[in-house]
Amino acid sequence: MNKSAENNSRVWIASELYYPETTSTGYFMTLVAEALARDFKVSVLCGQPSYSGRGLRAPWYEVLNGVEIWRCRATTFDKNHLLLRIFNQLTISISILGQAIIRLGRGDLVMVVTNPPQLPYLLLMACKMRRARCVLLIEDLYPDVLFCLGMVKSTSIHGRLMTAASHWLYNGMERIIVLGRDVKKIVMRKMDSYQERVSVIPHCADTESICPRPRQENKLLSKVGLLDRFVVQYCGNIGRTHGIEALVEIAELLRCDPMWHFLLIGWGAKKKWAEQQKAIKDLSNLTILDPIPQAEFCDGLNACDVAIVPLVEGMTGISVPSRMYNILSSGKPIVAICDDGSELAMVVKEEGIGWVVEPGNREALLAALREARSDPSRLAAMGEQARRAAETKYAQERVMSIYREMIAEMRLN
């Protein structure tokens, strides 16, 4: 790239979700864009809020914190209905594609997210048309997550076509960013050459607005009357990849012990199922709450003795739960229900901040929770180590500096 093109080129972020959407992807991509804007000209192509911020309407165009934002028109139906969610994904992907074809310039650098899954394919084609460069940020690994959930058979014609398309996508990208070491292994197997094109950059922990707080001063625990209980909490998106069935099952097993309580906070496709199970099984030791407002998020994450992060079986290399990093910020130990080789399991073991239980192993999960409750001093030490890990390895400024360095390096090559 000549010097003139480099000076005039722009960094683009293409993501369905962006501010004022506060769902993990929207929040994280806002951080990335604003961090890059310190050093580069940055523009965003995104949609209106359609997850936790659904119903909000932001300006179609604005410049916010140094970032030029173009919000593209699309449907914002309820994402918890699968067909409506797919329709949302198609309309926003096509809308962003149209804006990209109009606005991308030669030599521009585009970072596109895998949510929605159709978007990277369209943006790669737009980049080829406009002679721009394309970087893929993998939030969830498609089509692998669809195979894992049984939504598509990998051996079907549709499944084989999707696999071939993903190979084309990965090989067409100038750089691929993955959130975990387990994801990198799978992605590299799908590429013809990958020596320095796949980078592991984790999600970041919010160590400024989220911090450990004294349990007895917790407003949420006081509000729901749980200050005298041992509280196991799940907080975040209650989606199809999250194994909350385990939490409901353990709540049923421990229903006769008044000192245990399970707190489920969030939204998503499985929330209605959880509410139905609570009613059917009369689980008075299970409290289900709506998502916590951002201003109260720190208090919400601190409203427990231990956090539980459950994934369905087979998610190794497919999805890295971003909630893990803010749990670290709050200084809470983690009971991770996941495959042993997953990024989640590796972090919990490496940092010594909790327990790892294989999906479906009810006895091991019950044993881990009982062990957590039986040793308050060990639990406190794990919480302190979790906070240290957040501050030293996953702090926002550290992670964002990695993004800035990567983009700077790419623009020089």
Task: Please indicate, yes or no, if residue 253 is contained in any of the structural domains.
Answer: yes
Can you give the pLDDT at residue 52? 66
Q: 166: domain CATH number? A: 3.40.50.2000
Provide the token pair at 126.
């737009």
Give long-range contacts, CB 8 A cutoff, 24+ apart: 70-74: 70/43, 70/44, 70/45, 70/46, 70/99, 70/103, 71/18, 71/46, 71/47, 72/45, 72/46, 72/47, 72/96, 72/98, 72/99, 74/47, 74/48, 74/50
Give the length of the chain: 413
Can you give the pLDDT at residue 77? 83
Is residue 315 within 8 A of residue 339, CB to CB? The reply is: yes
When pLDDT is cut at 50, 70 and 90, the band that residue 402 belongs to is very high
Task: Please indicate, yes or no, if residue 241 is contained in any of the structural domains.
Answer: yes
Can you give the pLDDT at residue 1? 42
Task: Please indicate, yes or no, if residue 91 is contained in any of the structural domains.
Answer: yes
The tens digit of pLDDT for each residue in 133-177 reads 999 999 989 999 999 989 999 999 999 999 999 999 999 999 999
Residues 351-359 have a mean pLDDT of: 97
Query: E strand or H helix at 319, and its extent?
Result: none
Least confident residue range of 269-273, 284-288, 306-310: 269-273
Same domain, 139 and 254: no
**Mean of pLDDT over the chain:** 92
Can you give the pLDDT at residue 7? 54
Query: Is a pLDDT exceeding 70 seen at residue 71?
Result: yes
Same domain, 127 and 238: no
Which residue range(s) make up the domain with 143?
A: 3-204+395-412
When pLDDT is cut at 50, 70 and 90, the band that residue 3 belongs to is very low
Same domain, 405 and 378: no
Residues 51-58 have a mean pLDDT of: 74
CA–CA separation, 12 and 407 (whole Å): 11
Query: E strand or H helix at 35, and its extent?
Result: helix 24-36
Task: Please indicate, yes or no, if residue 210 is contained in any of the structural domains.
Answer: no
Same domain, 389 and 401: no
Distances from the Cα of 261 to the Cαs of 37, 258, 326, in angstroms?
A: 44, 8, 22
Share of the chain above pLDDT 70, in %: 96
Same domain, 155 and 12: yes
DSSP code for 338: S
CA–CA separation, 216 and 213 (whole Å): 9
Can you give the pLDDT at residue 292? 87
Task: Please indicate, yes or no, if residue 209 is contained in any of the structural domains.
Answer: no
Q: How many domains are contained in the chain? A: 2
Same domain, 329 and 401: no
The tens digit of pLDDT for each residue in 166-199 reads 999 999 999 999 999 999 999 998 888 766 799 9
Same domain, 245 and 104: no
